Amino acid sequence: MKIYYLFFSFILTIGLISCEGAFTSVKEIDIPEHDSKLSVFADISQNKGSFSVSHSKSITDIKEYAPVSAEITILENGATFYKMSFSGSSYNSFKQKTLPGNIVEGYEYTLMVDSEKYGYATSKQIVPAKPDFSNVKFKKDGFINSDGFKSDQLSFDLKDDKNTENFYMVQAEGLSFVNNDTLTETLYLNSNDPSVKPFWFGEKNGLIISDKNFNGTVVKIITDLKIYNNNPKMRLRVTSITKDYYNFLLSYNQYSNSNGNPFAEPVNVHNNIRNGYGLFQVNSFLDYIVKIE
């Protein structure tokens, strides 16, 4: 019996080795040469602009971030609105700038980026109209989350324009006052509404909404949050954003959530830069100060 067991084990081991060889193969894949293009991020809100210029890299390039020197021009309805020279560093990849004036709802803004080494890239965006919202209400411990715990509730009515496709961003900050200074605290919003999506990008977070399910109607947006530091007031900011910005934030968060998951489907992050990569976004927003009960 012992001899039979050893013989069976030997045969099983040989079989497993043979199976492993049958299902295992190594194949070399030629990685095509990468043609580096400009990688641009430009974020304009009212009279403030944030700019970053780099270049794309191949999947085998593990070098650190490398800003690119470039000339940036912004046109307003075809006329020059703003010009700057960009030259960042690994410690300061974004440049914050004050523009000559506020961007205007309905106007078209063109971003042009020219680099001697990486060529020319451009993008166009039209500033959406400011959001129309009302009936803002805050209720302490007014929400029971999916785990059965109490949290605070913030709600408002959002009136949507039926003549346009609209996209919104919702953010909140707690406000406290020390001497003559106003201190802000980022508040993290959640929603059970499947049409309301959370987003994270850099230092920004909040909720993004498409009007696909409520076009041309008044919808109540209900969010839950938790205020820990007893802020006496809160700033609610509702922003009208472009379709490009909505799709970028949505795809970027899908990419972030799938990163490191071998079973996740590949995600292409939305891009609206012609002859390059990245994002150009413009927006218009309204703030509402809420007294916390």
Do residues 93 and 60 both lie within one domain?
yes
Decide if 274 is inside a domain: no
Decide if 273 is inside a domain: no
pLDDT at 7: 43
Instruction: Give 133's contacts (C-beta < 8 A, 6+ positions apart).
Output: 156, 157, 158, 159, 221, 238, 286, 288
Instruction: Give 142's contacts (C-beta < 8 A, 6+ positions apart).
Output: 152, 153
Please tell me the distance from the alpha carbon of residue 108 to that of residue 125, in angstroms, as a whole number.
Answer: 6
Domain holding 194: CATH number? 2.60.40
* Residues forming a β-bridge with 45: 48, 283
Please tell me the distance from the alpha carbon of residue 72 to that of residue 115, in angstroms, as a whole number.
Answer: 9
Decide if 8 is inside a domain: no
pLDDT at 101: 97
Per DSSP, the residues of 27-46 read ---PPPPP---EEEEEEEET
Dihedral sign, CA of 241, 285, 102, 174? negative
283 near 45, Cβ under 8 Å? yes
Do residues 84 and 190 both lie within one domain?
no
Range of the domain at 166: 132-268+283-291
Decide if 277 is inside a domain: no
CB atoms near residue 244 (< 10 Å): 20
Number of domains in the chain: 2
pLDDT at 91: 56
Please tell me the distance from the alpha carbon of residue 12 to that of residue 33, in angstroms, as a whole number.
Answer: 46
pTM to 2 decimal places = 0.85
Residue ranges in the chain modelled with pLDDT below 50: 1-14, 16-17
3-state secondary structure of 213: helix
Decide if 161 is inside a domain: yes
pLDDT at 35: 79
pLDDT at 135: 97
Do residues 140 and 264 both lie within one domain?
yes
Do residues 104 and 69 both lie within one domain?
yes
User: Which of 79, 99, 126 is at the close of a domain?
Assistant: 126
Backbone angles phi, psi at 180, to 5 degrees: -105, 10
pLDDT at 90: 59
Which whole-number Å values give the CA distances from 59 to 35, 54, 147, 161, 231, in the listed order?
A: 12, 16, 41, 43, 46
Do residues 109 and 228 both lie within one domain?
no
3-state secondary structure of 122: strand
